[in-house]
C-alpha cells in the first residue's frame, strides 16, 4: 500500500508540474529571454524599445487573441492572413476613392463578413475547419488581387494614418487598441455564457449539443470574431505603411496559430487563455529581436521557434492522453 501511495503522490506531482508548464511556461521563457537580451544589449530593456516591440506585434496579436476562441472551440482558421489581405486592400481602396473614415470602419466589418462565411461553410457543409479555411483562404487571396488588379494602392492621407502611426504620449494607438481588444476577448471567454459555450463545444461537442448548446452558432461566432480581428489588424497595417498590398498577410495565419499554441491553448480544444496567446506573440517577437541583436542566421530562429512549438504541442498532447 505504501508503494501505491507513493506512486499516487508522484503522479500528482508530475501532473502539477505539467499543468504549471502549460499555464506559465511561456512567461518563464519570456522572462529568461528578456534577462538574456538585457545583458546582450543595454538598449533592449527600455520603455521605448519594449513599446516598439508591442507596436510591431499588435496586428498579429489581435488575430491571435480572437483565434484563441476558434481553437478552444475545436477549430482551426487558415484564412486569417488572406482576410487580413482582403480587408487591408479594401480599406486602402475606400480611403483613396471614397472616404478614409468609412475605410477604417469597413475593414473590420469586411473581415467579420468573411469570417462568418467561413463559419457558415464549415457548419453548413459539415467540413473540417482546417480544409474549409484552407480553401476559403485561396478564394480570399484571389479577391484581394482582383480588388487591386495586382498593383499596390498608395494611401497618403493624415485622416487614415493616425490609427497605425498615432500615439498617446509614448504609447502607440495600435497598442491601446490591442489592449482594449484583448481585455474584451478575455471577458468574453471567461465571464460570459458565450465563453462557457465555446469551452463546452471544444471540450465535448456531442455533450454540448445534448445540453442544448447551439454549437453551429457558437462556431460561426468564433470565426466571425477572428475575421473581425484580422480586418482590424489589416487597417492598422495599411495605415502604418501607407500602402495596400494584395499579398499582405501571407504566412500570418501560421504565425498566429503558432502563438496560440505557444501560449498553451490545447490543439484539441476545450482549454486555453487569451492572455497566454498574447504572451505567445511576444515570445515570437522576442525570439526574432534576440536573433537580430545576435546577428544570427535566420535559419536558427526558425529552428528554435519550431522546437519550442513542438514542446508546447507535446505538453498539450500529454494532457489529452491523461
Q: Which of 138, 27, 156, 140 is nearest to 84 (CA)?
A: 140
Mean pLDDT, to the nearest integer, of 113-134? 95
Instruction: Just give the CATH number of 50-321.
Output: 1.10.3470
Q: What per-residue confidence (pLDDT) applies to 310?
A: 79
DSSP code of residue 301: H
Mean pLDDT, to the nearest integer, of 91-120? 94
Give the E-state strand segments of the chain in sequence order: 153-154, 167-168, 171-172, 243-244
Mean pLDDT, to the nearest integer, of 6-12? 44
Q: In this structure, are strands 243-244 and 153-154 parallel, antiparallel, or unpaired? A: antiparallel
For residue 269, the number of C-alpha atoms closer than 13 Å in the C-beta half-sphere is 20
Dist CA 142 CA 87 (whole Å): 13
Q: What per-residue confidence (pLDDT) applies to 299?
A: 74
Spatial contact of 293 and 41, defined as CB atoms under 8 Å apart: yes
Handedness of CA 194, 199, 202, 208 (dihedral sign): negative
Q: What per-residue confidence (pLDDT) applies to 316?
A: 64
Return the minimum-mean-pLDDT range out of 67-81, 98-112, 221-235, 265-279: 265-279
Q: In the predicted model, is pLDDT for residue 72 greater than 60?
A: yes
Q: What per-residue confidence (pLDDT) applies to 102?
A: 93
Q: In the predicted model, is pLDDT for residue 200 greater than 50?
A: yes
Task: Give the residue with greater pLDDT, 158 vs 275.
Answer: 275
What does the block give as the cell for 236?
Answer: 492598422
Q: In the predicted model, is pLDDT for residue 44 greater than 70?
A: yes
Dist CA 118 CA 133 (whole Å): 6
Q: In the predicted model, is pLDDT for residue 121 greater than 70?
A: yes
Dist CA 22 CA 53 (whole Å): 24
Entry pTM:
0.89
Q: In the predicted model, is pLDDT for residue 106 greater than 60?
A: yes
Domains of the chain, by residue range, sit at 50-321
Q: In the predicted model, is pLDDT for residue 283 greater than 70?
A: yes
Dist CA 322 CA 318 (whole Å): 6
Amino acid at each position: 500500500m505504501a508503494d501505491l501511495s507513493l506512486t499516487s503522490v508522484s503522479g500528482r506531482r508530475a501532473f502539477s508540474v505539467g499543468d504549471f508548464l502549460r499555464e506559465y511556461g511561456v512567461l518563464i521563457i519570456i522572462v529568461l529571454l528578456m534577462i538574456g537580451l538585457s545583458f546582450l544589449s543595454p538598449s533592449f530593456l527600455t520603455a521605448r524599445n519594449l513599446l516598439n516591440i508591442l507596436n510591431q506585434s499588435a496586428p498579429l496579436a489581435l488575430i491571435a487573441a480572437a483565434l484563441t476562441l476558434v481553437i478552444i472551440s475545436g477549430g482551426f482558421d487558415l484564412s486569417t492572413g488572406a482576410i487580413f489581405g482582403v480587408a487591408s486592400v479594401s480599406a486602402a481602396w475606400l480611403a483613396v476613392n471614397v472616404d478614409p473614415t468609412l475605410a477604417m470602419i469597413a475593414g473590420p466589418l469586411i473581415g467579420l463578413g468573411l469570417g462568418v462565411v467561413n463559419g457558415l461553410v464549415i457548419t453548413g457543409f459539415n467540413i473540417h475547419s482546417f480544409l474549409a479555411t484552407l480553401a476559403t483562404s485561396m478564394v480570399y487571396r484571389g479577391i484581394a488581387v482582383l480588388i487591386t488588379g495586382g498593383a499596390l494602392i498608395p494611401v497618403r492621407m493624415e485622416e487614415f494614418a493616425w490609427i497605425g502611426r498615432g500615439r498617446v504620449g509614448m504609447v502607440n494607438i495600435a497598442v491601446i487598441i490591442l489592449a482594449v481588444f484583448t481585455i474584451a476577448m478575455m471577458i468574453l471567454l471567461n465571464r460570459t455564457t458565450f465563453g462557457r459555450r465555446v469551452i463546452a463545444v471544444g471540450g465535448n461537442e456531442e455533450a454540448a449539443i445534448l445540453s442544448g448548446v447551439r454549437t453551429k452558432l457558437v462556431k460561426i461566432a468564433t470565426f466571425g470574431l477572428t475575421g473581425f480581428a484580422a480586418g482590424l489588424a489589416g487597417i492598422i497595417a495599411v495605415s502604418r505603411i501607407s500602402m495596400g498590398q494584395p499579398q499582405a498577410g501571407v504566412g500570418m495565419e501560421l504565425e498566429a496559430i503558432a502563438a496560440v499554441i505557444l501560449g498553451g491553448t490545447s490543439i484539441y480544444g476545450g482549454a486555453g487563455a487569451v492572455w497566454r496567446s498574447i504572451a505567445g506573440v511576444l515570445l515570437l517577437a522576442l525570439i526574432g529581436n534576440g536573433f537580430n541583436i545576435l546577428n544570427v542566421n535566420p535559419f536558427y530562429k526558425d529552428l528554435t521557434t519550431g522546437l519550442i512549438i513542438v514542446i508546447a504541442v507535446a505538453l498539450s498532447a500529454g494532457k489529452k492522453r491523461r
